[in-house]
Structure 1
Amino acid sequence: MAKDEAKSSDFSKGLLKSEELYKYILETSVYPREHEALKELRNITHSHPRAGMATAPDAGQLMEMLLNLVNAKKTIEVGVFTGYSLLLTALTLPEDGKVIAIDVNRDSYELGLPVIKKAGVEHKIDFRESEALPVLDKLLNNKANEGGFDFAYVDADKVGYCNYHERLVRLIKIGGIIVYDNTLWGGSVVESESSTVEWMREGRKATLELNQKLSADQRVQISHAALGDGITICRRLY
């Protein structure tokens, strides 16, 4: 089998100063353990004009461990894109596990769907083409769903993160995990607004607000890690 080499679009997901160091991490510890279906979907995603939106594979590896640590069976994913993190979740869940996957646009998901089907895990996925808040609010309308989920992953519109958090804290069980992606927003969180490129400014503001909110939220234990574009792991305490 040919060696799986890091591609240029992978580097855009890392905040390490050295591309060679990030390449070392990917090629030594991540790619050798990556499921073949994930490799296939990652390579397909490289051809997408917005490939940088995909979950970083090293962040995905951490997600897999977290899913296993909480013995996840019921999960929520907000933001799907081509489905790399969704496929990873479905592969990790038990045969009777279920992930509710929410995205406003199904088109990119269709790119990865053939790989998901080939991997034999489509039956674990409940895809809902919708804005996230209506779906989350509908879930909360059923009291049985409060504390009924083990894990959630959010990689969607940054301006919605704070609102998603308030819903997800209620939906996730005590001891369950919520993971937020892009919580360093390309490093712009330490830049001034004027020095941030215009298309990133709204996301920068929303990310700063989220990070402050999570830091002050005593309902969750947090770990803010410089993986990919920054991820924040929240464990519900009460």
Structure 2
Amino acid sequence: MAVNNEQKQQSQTVEYVDLAHKTLLNSDALYKYILETSVFPREHPCLKELREMTEKHPKSLMAVPADEGQLISMLVKLMNANKTMEIGVYTGYSLLSTALALPSDGKVLAFDISREYYELGLPMIEKAGVLHKIDFREGYALHLLDELLQDENNKGTFDFVFVDADKNNYINYHKRVIDLVKVGGLIGYDNTLWSGSVAAPPDAPMIDIIRNLRDYVIELNKYLAQDSRIEICQLSVGDGITICRRID
């Protein structure tokens, strides 16, 4: 879920409440410049259609923003990735970004608790001609990951894994996908700056969803920082994304 914020100054207190933005940048003009100069002109027509459709949905804040989709696409191409995974799909902007970046024989295994939102984006995925690259599976991701791990042949075979799902299970996801991604492969965790709240004092004003999950995101960040099996790079793209490279 891509949750973002606009920081407001009121009586010398920063409020982590406004989620109208698709970025942590304080400057509307600067973010608009990035999108209009470097992102939107190169956005695939089917991605644009999917993004514009999703923006009208009541839960549109769950979507991965276009600049983050561009980053995911670049990572997939730089790695020459062929076998990838996505945990948490929503309407599929990051999924379509990945599928478009993969070679013709590439595959992305996608997990989501429900097909409902995926079905909304399916027409654009089909129009883009990449449906054959996607293996969508409905269900609880932890259960599906455990099933994969039961087969030793699945371990160490994924080039890239992108996680954008329930924040309270991020560490549980990490404990599983670290064995599924190959050495030298990448794992991307979305929302790791959590509307900027990870750097806020505990008593800072926050909307409920931010406050209720904030501690889980902070715990994840600490866990990743001390995990000797990975190298990490935390970026302030979108709502924060942490890129992990498996080295052991």
TM over 0.5: yes
1:99-152 deviations in whole A, cap 9, x for unaligned? 110000111111100110111111111111111101111111110111010000
Please tell me whether residue 67 in structure 1 is matched to residue 76 in structure 2.
yes
Task: Note the C-alpha offset of 1:11.
Answer: 5.8
Alpha-carbon distance in 1 for matches of 2:19, 2:75? 22
Count of equivalent residues: 230
Alpha-carbon distance in 1 for matches of 2:149, 2:182? 13
| RCO comparison, higher one (Cα < 8 Å, 6+) | 2
Residue identity matched to 1:101 = A
Please tell me whether residue 32 in structure 1 is matched to residue 41 in structure 2.
yes
Please tell me whether residue 163 in structure 1 is matched to residue 147 in structure 2.
no
Alpha-carbon distance in 1 for matches of 2:131, 2:221? 34
Match of 1:144 among 145, 148, 153: 153
Note if contact 1:74-1:149 (Cα within 8 Å) is conserved in structure 2: yes
Q: Give every structure 1 segment of 4 or more consecutive aligned residues whose post-TM-superposition deviation is greater than 3 Å.
A: none
Alpha-carbon distance in 1 for matches of 2:120, 2:54? 8
- Percent sequence identity over aligned pairs: 57
Task: Note the C-alpha offset of 1:200.
Answer: 1.8
SS in 1 for 2:114: coil
Partner of 1:211: 221
TM-score normalised by length of structure 1: 0.94
SS in 2 for 1:222: strand
Note if contact 1:159-1:202 (Cα within 8 Å) is conserved in structure 2: no
SS in 2 for 1:82: coil
Alpha-carbon distance in 1 for matches of 2:107, 2:146? 19
Match of 1:52 among 50, 61, 66: 61
The equivalences for 1:1-238 within 5 A come to 12-195=21-204, 196-238=206-248
Partner of 1:6: none
Residue identity matched to 1:77 = E
SS in 2 for 1:123: helix
